[in-house]
Structure 1
Amino acid sequence: MIQQQQTLIASPYIELYNLVVPQDNMLRQINELIDFSFVYDELKNQYCLDNGRNAIDPIRMFKYLLLKAIFELSDIDIVERSKYDMSFKYFLHMAPEDPVIDPSSLTKFRKLRLKDLNLLDMLINKTVEIAIEKGIIQSKAIIVDATHTKARYNQKSPREILLDRSRKLRKAVYKVNESLKAKFPAKNTSGVLEDEIGYCQKLIAVLEAEGGICQLPKIKEPLNLLKETISDDLEQLRISEDQDARVGHKSADSAFFGYKTHMAMTEERIITAAVVTTGEKNDGKQLQTLIEKSKTAGMEVKTVIGDTAYSERDNITYSSSNDIELVAKLNPLITQGARKREDEFQFNKDAGMYVCKAGHLAVRKARQGKKGVGNNQTDTYYFDVETCKRCPLKEGCYTEGAKSKTYSVSIKSTEHTEQMEFQESEYFREKAKERYKIEAKNSELKHRHGYDVASSSGLVGMELQGAMAIFTVNVKRILKLMK
């Protein structure tokens, strides 16, 4: 059963908050800025309204997840800190003497209550609404880009993940008390995942039996991470490392295994839209969705600023028909006319190569046709045929027994005359200088809010992480601009 959060806290110690949580405290400012009742309105259908035990207030649970995004702590550590950090208790709308939740409740909240909710759009739209109400968003331009996030498990096997985390825990323990080595269980050598899980559980039991050493921060953090991996992700560990993550390419020589978050941001650095995809997806294909989502959030979009990935033919046509200026430099390799199998082969502007639907990058390219005659020339991209032979998506793409796999595109250098003229204007050059802002925002998400590595498995978990991280950076930006 769900009950809406009370507006007043009945406690003889309530005045403590005025003494120990200053007016300029960020969490106090967030509480004053945002009416979190929208969380209750969105989640009430996920609860029984008139039967069963009282549920933990969904607004408080949501705020716990927000604290995780702000301070980048595990479930256990964020709950532990809320026992004694008065700014946390104030933010969570608790009395100073109130007990905290069990950390396992956060896992249940994520899996049961946030399931099937479009939390990403909901939270972004809420912050854009606040920014517009406060008069912060004045521009009619959005800057677009994509940032990558590595999968939590990379391409390691589940057993390798546990081996790595238990090794880091033992290493931390040895620095404090090497004599405990004699009490640790014998390392698992069977190569069986279940045996490795059993070893980790025994290792944890030995350390918890020692008591005090578990409270040391250098021991506590790797211990909590190993425990959370076994308990929260046990089912996922038994299935695979990460079913949804895909290989993406940052350049021709460097790749990552994980996800992409495609974002639109105003010139005031408020994120107005985001789309989370697997790592191999093309940046330019998300532009129209980002524009439409920004409009739905309340933005008036007259200008879009991006890199060459967004200058493909469909985007130029869409922008022109919607009276939008597209400040994105042309790239002859992605602005050709209609090409065959567009959905199966997409251009990766960072690597300068095409990528197939399985995420495999072409290994080389060659230009064919008479030089200087654009319409008669094609670029042919060659894929590693040995990879194609083993590819699970080879049906309809690779012909059994073929000695090569290629994909060709025609070069039409005479097209896009209007966009080429616009590209040479002073206005275009000035607007293009704004693009650095979104790169700085990507850096903030990664280095201050843990967005460089996924915190859980799967696309749904990545969307949740993106929702909380983007909500956090938007709220912090609004507070800064209000000052």
Structure 2
Amino acid sequence: MLKREKLERDVVELVNTDLLVPSDHLLRKIDGAVDFTHIYDFVEDLYCADNGRPSADPVVLIKMALIQHLYGIRSLRQTVKDIEMNIAYRWFLGYTLNETIPHFATVSYNFRHRFKESVIEDIFTWILYEVERAGYLKPEVVFVDATHIKANANLKKRIKKAIPGAARTYEDQLLEEVNADREDHGKKPFDDTKPPEDRNVTESTTDPDCGVFNKGEHKKCFAYGAHTVCDQNNFVRDVVVTAGNHHDSQIFDALYKKVTGRYPQIQVITADAGYKTPWICKTNFDDGRIPSVPYKRPMTKPNYHKSYEDVYDEYNDWVICPENRTLYYATTNRHGYQEYKSIPFNCERCPTRHLCTENKSCEKTVTRHVWQDYLEMAEDIRHSPIGKATYSLRSQTIERVFADAKEKHAMRYTLYRSLNSVASWVRLKYAAMNLKKLALWKSKAWLLFWPVTQRTRFSV
């Protein structure tokens, strides 16, 4: 049996690090895909050239953070340890085997005090520009959804707190249409908008910016929400980070304005049932865009009549129940819902009253939003070829982005605290994911000669 006579551990050799990095290594592809010297333009105003001691190269510091996000390394401390031992990482940074890597505290300090949100935004936008210049962005159809990120906070360390309710962005417009509808029905209009009611929330004493997340089978925890937009090619277009206790539809306006302001050529916005609200559908249709949303299950009690069994008669402005009884208009409330109520005498003798209402006065109430027509238009889109084609891509696009971010790039849990820190962390992670995809696609020469019609999954 052959065995080594001795272990060569103290041998001095002349080594060319460039020859030790494989030609198909990911970092080689990334290094050839973009010009990292553009980073100097983003941070030039943050450094003083006249005095002070020499600083660490900002390109090196940002590359170290990109390595952390590209390979899903949990912390900067561990990232520096891995860079010290990994020849490919050193090659990417331009360091020899004997050079000292910047201390993790140096990297952490710069990202905490120098590279603020504006620098991260510039890096994110620059990478998207490189993707667009390469011809890989498909802006016609985008996909919107949110995922939660577990916060670095213990659920047991919490307090109950009353906070002012957030005013809806469309409050004034809704009140105007509600008053117009009330006047058409001979009702007195509301004077003005009531201030939002205070709401009680559970706040973490460790990280007050996060919020309690509890949905479905997920374990209750403090978390942040990453509300994300991507295109057909899975490139992340934009992201808004909030506390984990905000509903997806509440953040849609801010995300919608950002992404449509940057990409006005968007034609179809695909989202899940949480975004199927009257205001969101109205916003899309009024702007000349198409909301592609799925069927939303009626929010009725089990074994009761479904809401779609009540038929609205537009000509007579009344509602007909499953037993062919008429419900007449009563009022329009501040939330924009028209209320139609039945005659108690009819409901009292109804054979299916136990499937309809438990009201002691035997009166059934059906509500219909003043913007209900937009929901019905969205329902028509759902059955159209464009609606079926775009919504079927959600599992391959936005859901794939979330899966990759959590499984490959360590976005399931964050060590950072405060909303600004987590937002920068998420944006830089998405920038690294876009950069990785750009580099991989550029490295495939055959993709450049593949017909565009075959590269595009769906065209509007």
TM > 0.5 = yes
1:415 and 1:14 map into 2 onto residues whose CA distance is 75
> For the structure 1 residues 317 and 476, does the alpha-carbon distance in structure 2 shift closer, same or farther, using more than 3 Å as the test?
same
* Secondary structure at 1:148 match in 2: strand
The number of aligned residues is 328
* Secondary structure at 1:415 match in 2: helix
Alpha-carbon offset, residue 296 of structure 1? 4.8
After TM superposition, the structure 1 = structure 2 runs for residues 384-423 of structure 1, keeping only pairs within 5 Å, are 410-412=367-369, 415-416=373-374, 417-423=376-382
- 1:143 maps to amino acid: F
Alpha-carbon offset, residue 105 of structure 1? 0.9
* Secondary structure at 2:223 match in 1: strand
Aligned to 1:145: 145
Alpha-carbon offset, residue 80 of structure 1? 2.1
After TM superposition, the structure 1 = structure 2 runs for residues 83-482 of structure 1, keeping only pairs within 5 Å, are 83-115=84-116, 117-119=117-119, 121-157=121-157, 240-251=205-216, 255-298=220-263, 300-329=265-294, 331=296, 373=327, 410-412=367-369, 415-416=373-374, 417-436=376-395, 437-482=397-442
Q: For 1:148-200, what per-residue CA distance to the aligned partner results, in whole angstroms no more than 9, with x for missing partners?
A: 00111232449xxxxxxxxxxxxxxxxxxxxxxxxxxxxxxxxxxxxxxxxxx
Aligned to 1:75: 76
Aligned to 1:352: none
- 1:450 maps to amino acid: A
Give yes or no for contact 1:332–1:411 (8 Å, CA) kept in 2.
no
Give yes or no for contact 1:248–1:257 (8 Å, CA) kept in 2.
yes
Give yes or no for contact 1:14–1:95 (8 Å, CA) kept in 2.
no
Where is the helix percentage greater, Structure 1 or Structure 2? 1
Aligned to 1:216: none
Alpha-carbon offset, residue 252 of structure 1? 8.5
- 1:80 maps to amino acid: K
Q: For 1:48-97, what per-residue CA distance to the aligned partner results, in whole angstroms no more than 9, with x for missing partners?
A: 23211011011111111111112314323222222232211111122343
TM-score w.r.t. structure 1 length? 0.61
Higher alpha-carbon Rg: 2
Alpha-carbon offset, residue 122 of structure 1? 2.8
Give yes or no for contact 1:304–1:325 (8 Å, CA) kept in 2.
yes
1:248 and 1:327 map into 2 onto residues whose CA distance is 26
Give yes or no for contact 1:302–1:324 (8 Å, CA) kept in 2.
yes
Greater shift after overlay, 247-256 or 441-450?
247-256
1:453 and 1:253 map into 2 onto residues whose CA distance is 14
Alpha-carbon offset, residue 374 of structure 1? 9.5
2:62 and 2:366 map into 1 onto residues whose CA distance is 49
2:429 and 2:292 map into 1 onto residues whose CA distance is 27
Aligned to 1:40: 40
* Secondary structure at 2:408 match in 1: helix
> For the structure 1 residues 249 and 277, does the alpha-carbon distance in structure 2 shift closer, same or farther, using more than 3 Å as the test?
same
> For the structure 1 residues 297 and 95, does the alpha-carbon distance in structure 2 shift closer, same or farther, using more than 3 Å as the test?
farther
- 1:279 maps to amino acid: G
Alpha-carbon offset, residue 44 of structure 1? 2.3
Alpha-carbon offset, residue 120 of structure 1? 5.0
TM-score w.r.t. structure 2 length? 0.64
1:23 and 1:53 map into 2 onto residues whose CA distance is 37
* Secondary structure at 1:464 match in 2: helix
Aligned to 1:165: none
2:150 and 2:122 map into 1 onto residues whose CA distance is 24
2:86 and 2:45 map into 1 onto residues whose CA distance is 32
Aligned to 1:403: none
Alpha-carbon offset, residue 370 of structure 1? 9.8
Q: For 1:307-361, what per-residue CA distance to the aligned partner results, in whole angstroms no more than 9, with x for missing partners?
A: 1122222222221222111101364879xxxxxxxxxxxxxxxxxxxxxxxxxxx
Stretches of structure 1 that go unaligned for 5 or more consecutive residues are 1-12, 159-238, 335-368, 380-407
> For the structure 1 residues 35 and 298, does the alpha-carbon distance in structure 2 shift closer, same or farther, using more than 3 Å as the test?
farther
Give yes or no for contact 2:17–2:96 (8 Å, CA) kept in 1.
no
Give yes or no for contact 1:143–1:305 (8 Å, CA) kept in 2.
yes
Give yes or no for contact 1:303–1:327 (8 Å, CA) kept in 2.
yes
> For the structure 1 residues 94 and 126, does the alpha-carbon distance in structure 2 shift closer, same or farther, using more than 3 Å as the test?
same
- 2:233 maps to amino acid: E
Give yes or no for contact 1:333–1:411 (8 Å, CA) kept in 2.
no
- 2:410 maps to amino acid: G
> For the structure 1 residues 303 and 330, does the alpha-carbon distance in structure 2 shift closer, same or farther, using more than 3 Å as the test?
same
Greater shift after overlay, 277-286 or 31-40?
31-40
Identity percentage of aligned residues:
20
> What root-mean-square deviation, in Å, do the aligned CA atoms of Structure 1 and Structure 2 show?
3.2
> For the structure 1 residues 433 and 119, does the alpha-carbon distance in structure 2 shift closer, same or farther, using more than 3 Å as the test?
farther
Aligned to 1:339: none
* Secondary structure at 1:118 match in 2: helix
Give yes or no for contact 2:237–2:259 (8 Å, CA) kept in 1.
yes
- 1:415 maps to amino acid: D
